[in-house]
Structure 1
Amino acid sequence: MDGLKDKVIVFAGAGGLAAATAGYLGAGGAKLIVGDISEAAAERTVQVAREAGGEGLAIALDISNEDQVKRQIDLAVKEYGRIDGLFNVAANIHPDEVARDTNVIDIELSAWQRTIDVNLTGYLLTLKHALPHMIAGGGGSVVNTLSGAVYAGMPDKVAYSVTKAGIGALIRHVARRYGKDGVRSNGVAPGLVLTEATKLNLPEEFRDMILTGTPSPRHGKPEDIGATVAFLLSDLSEWVNGQVLCVDGGTSMRP
């Protein structure tokens, strides 16, 4: 993909969507700094970028920990001199945590708070520390990850749904406040994408039910999301700002 050569992109999160995106960015010649709660997962994502033709570094990152977020941003600036893009894809999706996220009556406040700390406060922290460097360099692109859960009205996963909706407001705040500084702020809202985590957390019967209500003949692939994120991080999307792109096979069909 054009418009990515030598761009320095920070990743917060290193799951299946991040790895798919890393492949596109690496092929475009980008330089990645990937952080994840599992440094081994971060290294695997960086390796995808290297094998595609890019380069990068991996670092352990708990996105809810401001000191660790700052350390990742500082590493990017130290090694590459600037930051051109930020991809927030981390989420509180460990199976044990997913099981604790229920509904407004039954959810434990500790489960609610942990999801907010990771899914929403964590995104705030990466923006807080990355944006000054992007602005100093003349601008850049931010891509945050939402979910189709924002629009579906899920009967469970209340904390997950609420935090993903909050990310939408965060996207528009950054676009409106820092657009004149050359910063573009957008998001992707994936539908049901068959990552390894999805296969682990969602029974096949549930996946089949979702597909029945989807205009597309198949579920999403990580590469579907990766291509969209790569476009938003590239110069090809210079006039796209403050938007959330639903990459969901037509499930939501928002105006």
Structure 2
Amino acid sequence: MRGLAGKAGIVAGGGRGIGAATARRLAAEGAGVVIGDIAGDWAMDTARAIREEGGRAIGVRLDGTKAVSQAAIVNAALAEFGRLDFYHSNLAGGTEGDIDVLNCSEEVLDRSFAINAKSHFLATQAALPVLIERGGGTMIYTSSGAAISGNPLQVAYPMTKNALHALVRHVARKFGKQGIRANGICPGVVLTEAVAQHLTQDYVTSMLNSLPHKRLGQPDDIAGAVAFLASDDGEWVNGQLWHVNGGSLLRD
């Protein structure tokens, strides 16, 4: 990718899965990466593996639902690399008990909003002033195709992802003139460690039968899209929600 070498940024939720693949890809492109994860050991292990391959990375524990933790990871990037060029806000979860609107407790709803909406809001509040001060940068958020697919089996999670879409467009529209780009990626079914352990072969077969592609997604598929948006090649992409899903949802 053009213009990633020498840059530095944050991958929140980077201990495993999509986040870890993205951190590895960004480091391979020459960027310095701060990996944050609620499981701090995962973040540090992934960073260690990147360093062993010659990349630049550190791992820290991040509770993305807390403003103080978001501020700390931004400060870690500045302390380690002396700059911040991008923030990939990749936190997601809290789907247990999210069944439908008549079978979703207030506790489940609150947890989903904290992880899937509030965390991205707090990440933006922590990173944006630094990005603006240095003359620009990019916020990249992980959303989900669930935001628009009309899944009958969840209600809180899709609601939170739609809230995230509003944040993407707000940041792009409000701060674009100050050099800020904000975009979101909506993955389809991606075979991360967490997803793969819950999928039966029958489910995988049914998904493949409905997908206009030869395979399901891999974390590297999303990592490539994030790397493009963080790079100078993505300089004219702003305020967009990209569906990277093998064609499972066909959108304008």
**Could you say which TM-score interval applies, normalised by the shorter chain?**
over 0.9
For 2:208 and 2:91, the matched residues in 1 are separated by 25
Counterpart amino acid of residue 58 in structure 2: L
Aligned residue for 1:29?
30
Aligned residue for 2:61?
60
Deviations 1:117-150, CA, capped at 9 Å, x for gaps: 0110000001001000001111011110011111
Counterpart amino acid of residue 30 in structure 1: A
SS at match of 2:242: strand
1:189-228 pair list within 5 angstroms: 189-228=186-225
For 2:171 and 2:109, the matched residues in 1 are separated by 25
Aligned residue for 1:174?
171
For 1:53 and 1:17, the matched residues in 2 are separated by 21
Q: Is the 8 A contact 1:103 1:158 kept in 2?
A: yes
State whether structure 2 residue 78 is matched by structure 1 residue 77: yes
Aligned residue for 1:6?
6
For 1:165 and 1:204, the matched residues in 2 are separated by 30
For 1:26 and 1:190, the matched residues in 2 are separated by 21
State whether structure 2 residue 124 is matched by structure 1 residue 127: yes
SS at match of 1:229: helix
For 1:83 and 1:112, the matched residues in 2 are separated by 33
Aligned residue for 2:21?
20
Q: Is the 8 A contact 1:115 1:160 kept in 2?
A: yes
Aligned residues: 251
SS at match of 2:95: helix
Aligned residue for 1:114?
111
For 2:198 and 2:164, the matched residues in 1 are separated by 23
Counterpart amino acid of residue 85 in structure 2: D
Q: TM-score, normalised by structure 1?
A: 0.94
* Runs (5+) with no aligned partner, structure 1: none
For 2:10 and 2:145, the matched residues in 1 are separated by 24
- Aligned-residue offset at 1:100: 1.1
Aligned residue for 2:249?
252
1:89-108 pair list within 5 angstroms: 89-92=90-93, 97-108=94-105
- Aligned-residue offset at 1:105: 0.4
Q: Is the 8 A contact 2:11 2:22 kept in 1?
A: no
- Aligned-residue offset at 1:37: 0.5
Deviations 1:167-225, CA, capped at 9 Å, x for gaps: 11111100000100101101111100111111123333223222221101110111111
- Aligned-residue offset at 1:101: 1.2
- What root-mean-square deviation, in Å, do the aligned CA atoms of Structure 1 and Structure 2 show? 1.3
1:140-151 pair list within 5 angstroms: 140-151=137-148
SS at match of 1:192: coil
Following TM superposition, the consecutive aligned residue runs of length 4 or more in structure 1 with deviations greater than 6 angstroms are none
Q: Is the 8 A contact 2:95 2:112 kept in 1?
A: no
- Aligned-residue offset at 1:52: 4.5
Q: Is the 8 A contact 1:26 1:48 kept in 2?
A: no
